[in-house]
Amino acid sequence: MPATKTLPLVKNPDRLESLLKEIPQTPGVYLMKDESDRLLYIGKSKKLRSRVRSYFRESNNHSHRIALMVQQVADIELIITDTEAEALALEANLIKQHQPYFNVLLKDDKKYPYLCISWSEDYPRIFITRKRRKTKAKDRYYGPYTDSGLLRQTLHLVKQIFPLRQRPKPLFKDRPCLNYDIGRCPGVCQGLISPEDYRKKVQQVATIFQGRTGELIDILTAQMAKEAEALDFEKAAIIRDQIAGLKSLHAAQKVSLPDDRVSRDSIALAANDRTACVQLFQIRAGQLVGRLGFVAEIPTLEAEKVTATKEELGAILQRVLEEHYQTVDAVEIPSEIMVQYELPEAEILADWLRERKGKKVEIIAPKKQQKAQLIEMVEKNADSELARLQRMSDRNYRSMEDLAELLDLPELPRRIEGYDISHIQGSDAVASRVVFIDGLPAKQHYRHYKIKNPEVTAGHSDDFASMAEIMKRRFRNYENSTDKPDLVMLDGGKGQLSAGVAVLAEMNLLEEVKIVSLAKQREEIFLPGESLPVASDREQPGVQLLRRLRDEAHRFAVSFHRDKRSQRMKRSRLDEIPGLGFERQKQLLAYFHSVDYIRMATPEQLAEVPGIGPRLAKEVYNYFHPSLSGN
């Protein structure tokens, strides 16, 4: 018999009350789990019983995120600690290890880029990304940076100062590219530098993004003197140029403070009733070396309150700092942290940071003179970012409001799904689903589909049948779905809409799922059962929102189609080689990266590929060199 799942605690009040009574009023960490024993949330408190009980009080105005979590909690585990600082340290370690979904206070705003160093690779890459990937624990992320242009400029200068790996994959199989010849790369692709020596160079670069440029300059100065004493003037000159480049890197960004030898972080926020925009300025040796930005959710305010209190805003700053310093190396923790509001547990945070750094860390809320002026400058930047987000939010709200009126929807379409089909005369047919939530792309909900209809083949396309297939696959488990759309938009005209409507009618979902189509040529919107398009202006806000959704669905479908077609074309020539099945084709392509490199390889090189023995290697070689094999 299948195991009986434990009901969520909110549906079992007797068990909830019994569990709460057993929780001690001591410092510690609590781990909340769902009915499948999956970790939902990890938290800490100096009074465990009070904190855990607060989640289940009806009077508490939780944020949407926490309210959703509470509905799923089926069990709570406890770890008792001696002090609050121990609880904070343990919480940080457990979150880093398990990464529970509901522990993310900071929203992933794709506007902010990160810099990544891929320490998981033998020869680490340094690149800019807008998404923190948690699959490789060794990789290190810096940011998020609010000025993407300055970040790109800094990385460009760094790659001019230090010879670094320039490409994710080698350009040539048996020789380095031009970057090696001009001194931009140490020949990583051909192993002309050992992984150990290369990682030392990358570690030097990491100190720049840790705000420790001064330390790096001191190290390089000592190395330059050593090389000069050894009469190796060529190496000394290279180091001299690196030092000059580093000094010019941040020369223009000077912050005037009484003691420019102290490393400082200065944090402030600006908030409305829903969102807090947080800015964190990193100041090292009197220079502004990093300007990081975060977006945090404001807990739901009580009915009589218009704005959050200073205590509530201080709690947000505390949580942002805790999450931020969990992700940085100990050497990046500054000696002084200046905050806009008093933190509710400043001493606990300071003790935890001191243990990590090995030195005292002071947290202060400056009230006067230059330090207070710096906080004011950070707050102005936060105000500016909040205003930008508000403008964007207002625009999206007007668009949803206009669309609801245009389509006579009962509520604002907060979640809209867009679908598109892509193929070339039926070959490599695919579909896409993109999702907009509150008018913005929610890429975590995007999906690709491969069309499985056997009648859709090269030379025979059927967009209507393909759309019907995707609608069936999307809505077959609709009743159990937690992500139900307020509106579905199909890219196409009345034909695509009829196909989608027929599927929904067959599933008895036509009353629940609102569906429309958007034709490309005249940007006309069609509704089920209507022969004429909706009367609309293509430039009105609601139509523009549908157009943005349609264009994104088209882009997403076309990119997947191109990838699929490219993979097929890669393998088309390899399919003709006797004895070379699909798995061995994958191994060859993974090893050589392209069919051209496979063609240039010798039988001995081909035989080095796992799963390719001497006999099959000879078959592959003879296929590409028939004149040499006598065929």
Domain ranges for the chain, please list them. Answer: 9-103, 264-387, 408-566, 575-629
DSSP for residue 58: T
> Looking at per-residue confidence, does 580 or 4 come out higher?
580
Strands of 75-80's sheet in order across: 39-45, 28-33, 75-80
Sign of the alpha-carbon dihedral angle for 237, 241, 247, 248 = positive
Confidence of residue 1 (pLDDT cuts 50, 70, 90): very low
Tokens of 575: 């399919």
Mean pLDDT confidence for 34-56: 88
Strands (E), 492-601: 515-518, 525-526
pLDDT digits (tens, 9 = 90+) for 400-446: 999 999 998 988 998 999 999 887 766 778 889 999 988 888 887 89
Mean pLDDT, range 201-214, rounded to an integer: 78
Q: What is the mean pLDDT of the chain?
A: 82
Distance CA 112, CA 279 (A): 12
Q: What are phi and psi of 447, to 5 degrees?
A: -140, 145
Q: What is the pTM of this model?
A: 0.60
pLDDT at 284: 78
DSSP annotation of 392: H
Residue with more model confidence, 3 or 314: 314
More confident residue, 12 or 173: 12
Average pLDDT over residues 293-301: 74
pLDDT at residue 259, as a whole number: 63
Question: Taking each helix axis from N to C terminus, what angle separates 213-229 and 233-249, rounded to the nearest 10 degrees?
Answer: 160
Predicted pLDDT at 3:
44
* pLDDT single digits (tens) 118-127: 888 888 988 8
Q: Which two tokens stand for residue 57?
A: 């009080």
- Assign 108 a pLDDT band (cuts: 50, 70, 90): very low
Q: Between residues 419 and 594, which one has the greater pLDDT?
A: 419
- Check residue 305 and give its pLDDT: 55
The CATH number fitting domain 9-103, selected from 3.40.50.11290, 3.10.20.30, 3.40.1440.10, 3.50.50.60: 3.40.1440.10
- Per-residue pLDDT reduced to its tens digit, 23-43: 999 999 999 998 888 888 998
pLDDT tens, 326-347?
Answer: 878 888 888 999 999 999 889 8
Tokens 């580093």: give the residue.
246
pLDDT at residue 514 greater than cutoff 90: yes
Using alpha carbons, list the distances in angstroms from residue 545 to 106, 264, 535: 26, 43, 16
pLDDT of residue 342: 93
End-to-end Cα, the chain, rounded Å = 63
List the single range of 202-206, 342-346, 477-481 with lowest mean pLDDT.
477-481
Give the other-Cβ count within 10 Å of 175's Cβ. 11
- pLDDT (0 to 100) of residue 306: 58
Q: What burial class does residue 85 get, using C-beta atoms within 10 Å of its C-beta: 0-12 exposed, 13-18 middle, 19+ buried?
A: buried
Q: Which CATH architecture has domain 264-387?
A: 2-Layer Sandwich (3.30)
Q: Is the pLDDT of residue 115 over 90?
A: no
- The better pLDDT of the pair 272, 62 is held by 272
pLDDT (0 to 100) of residue 291: 82
Which of 154, 151, 150, 155 is closest to 166 using CA atoms? 155
Give the whole-angstrom CA distance, residue 275 versus residue 268.
14
pLDDT band at 205 (very low <50, low <70, confident <90, very high): confident
Q: To which CATH superfamily is domain 408-566 assigned?
A: UvrC, RNAse H endonuclease domain (3.30.420.340)
Segments of 36-117 assigned E as strands? 39-45, 75-80, 114-117
Digit-coded pLDDT (tens) for 491-505: 988 888 999 999 999
Q: What is the mean pLDDT of residues 386-412?
A: 89
Domains 264-387 and 408-566 are alike in CATH topology = yes
Q: In this predicted structure, what is the pLDDT of residue 61?
A: 65
Q: Which fold has domain 575-629?
A: DNA polymerase; domain 1 (1.10.150)
Q: Give me the mean pLDDT over the 265-287 stretch.
A: 86
How much of the chain exceeds pLDDT 90, in percent? 18
